Amino acid sequence: MNFCKNIELNYERFLTEEYSLEKLFRPADYDWPGDWEGRALLAFLCHKQIHGAEVPHLHDFFSELPRRTNDKLYFGKPFDGVTVDEQQLSGHNWYLRGLLKYSEIYGGEEAMAIAKSTVENLYLPTLKWYTHYPLERGEDAGGVSGSVTGTISGWKLSSDVGCAFMCADGLAKYYAATKDEGVKEFLDSIIELFVSVDLCKYKLQTHTTLTCLRGILTLFVATGEERYLDIVKEKFAVYIERGMTLTYENFNWFGREDTWTEPCAVVDSFILATELYRLTDESGYKTLARRIWFNGLQFCQRANGGAGPNTCVTKGQGVLKISMYEAPFCCTMRYAEGLLEYHDNRELFSFDGSAPTVVDGLGRRFVDDRLIVKYNGKATPVFPCHDIPESEAKEIEAEVIF
């Protein structure tokens, strides 16, 4: 493939045993029904759009869906009308996105029929539960992969606070494809609630916040209603100020700067910045997209093609290190959509290594949007982590220079 190394490595990762047909379907007791399967389907299809190559078992995987899902064609237990599982709603965002992209690329009615059943039987019946969605979660908790924290007010809750809003992404894509007004009413209701939430007070997960914003931006494109664009710009500004690290990655939760970054969220922020630039022509979004690509996404990817979390770099903690080598259950797959966004907008990301050094308002130094860090005793622009073998990468300590 005549593409950047990021794309080649990520595609080759999906040819390994980790993503074989036998391993793609999670066991019945998996805490995130539909999440792994949906992210995999979406990732495979992103690569199909980038370079035309198919993961060999893509169509076999799709053909297995009716046999692997419940009688309503989605994963996990059918909604019982009593308790809403927010991790199920969150995971099926990616399932819905994958189905819609499969339909977009290959046509046919089966993928859309499965998507329709998922929307009408999993999502739409839960609307009234959102009116009493619990935001208070007690003590800070949660790992790289979120976990169930308990059941309150008819909600089976996750440590990934706010992940019930993740579905705005897939549902907005569904609305854009079908113009189903019932879905738009659902979206408007949950968006109204989302807008009212103090992201920092309740320490929402940044990934779910950004994914929801991407859905709202999709609604703007589909409807032309400026209010959606205004919401995205306002909430994204909060993320940039309160949820982004000094290396253009993310804090996993708002207000928890001592945690780790998550490439899933970095991808979301990259897509938002790039698309906002395309829609508004505001140069600040272009600069942001470039800096997320050069400093965040380049350092998230590993030599095996996967992606993993890093340390949160702040004024008080200025050292960039790997926090977890790879998160194959989420970040490696989500990285593929970031690569599709890069590929579709690649003319924005040329790099001039001879550009003069500039200093921003925080004192960070850049060479053409690459941060300068101190690594092995020398000042150097941030480098792609995928160029470094695993054993060496795990020992990286790169200090941001102010």
| Percent of the chain scoring above 70 in pLDDT | 98
Q: Tokens 């992210």 label which residue?
A: 39
Whether 285 is covered by a domain: the verdict is: yes
In a domain, 135, yes or no: no
Closest CA to 320 of 395, 266, 264, 378: 395
The DSSP output letter for 348 is G
pLDDT tens across 110-131, in order? 999 999 999 999 999 999 999 9
Give the chain's domain count: 1
**Cβ density class 10-48: b for 16+ within 10 Å, e for less:** bbebbeeeebeeeebbbeeebbbbbbbbbbbbbbbbbbb
- Say yes or no to pLDDT of 2 above 60: no
Q: Is residue 192 part of a domain?
A: yes
Residue 139, domain member (yes or no): no
In the block, tokens 């207000």 appear at 255
What is the spatial distance between Cα 212 and Cα 299, in angstroms, rounded to a whole number? Answer: 24
**The pLDDT of residue 1 is above 50:** no
What range does the domain containing 246 cover?
5-130+149-400
Which runs of consecutive H residues, i.e. helices, occur in 132-205?
Answer: 168-178, 181-196
Question: Among 211, 207, 177, which Cα is nearest to 191's?
Answer: 211
- Rounded to an integer, the average pLDDT of 323-339 is 98
pLDDT in tens, 36-58: 999 999 999 999 999 999 999 99
Q: Is residue 69 one of the residues assigned to a domain?
A: yes
HSE at residue 264, side-chain half, CA atoms within 13 A, is 26
Closest CA to 25 of 72, 58, 65: 65
- Tens digit of pLDDT for each residue in 131-167? 999 998 766 666 677 789 999 999 999 999 999 999 9
- For tokens 């790169």, the residue is 398
CATH number of the domain encompassing residue 251: 1.50.10.10
Instruction: Please give the pLDDT value at position 181.
Output: 98
Find the helix packing angle between 168-178 and 181-196, rounded to 10°. Answer: 150
Please compute the mean of the pLDDT values over residues 372-386 and round it to a whole number: 96
Measured from the Cβ of residue 65, the count of other Cβ atoms closer than 10 Å reads 21
Average pLDDT over residues 357-383: 96
pLDDT digits (tens, 9 = 90+) for 84-98: 999 999 999 999 999
pLDDT band at 299 (very low <50, low <70, confident <90, very high): very high
For residues 235 and 198, is the Cβ–Cβ distance under 8 A? Answer: no
Asked if residue 138 is part of any domain, the answer here is no
Task: Give domain status of residue 140, yes or no.
Answer: no
Region of residue 17 (phi > 0: left; psi between -120 and 50: alpha; otherwise: beta) = alpha
Report yes or no on 223 lying in a domain.
yes
DSSP state of 309: -
Kindly report whether the global pTM for this prediction surpasses the value 0.85. Answer: yes
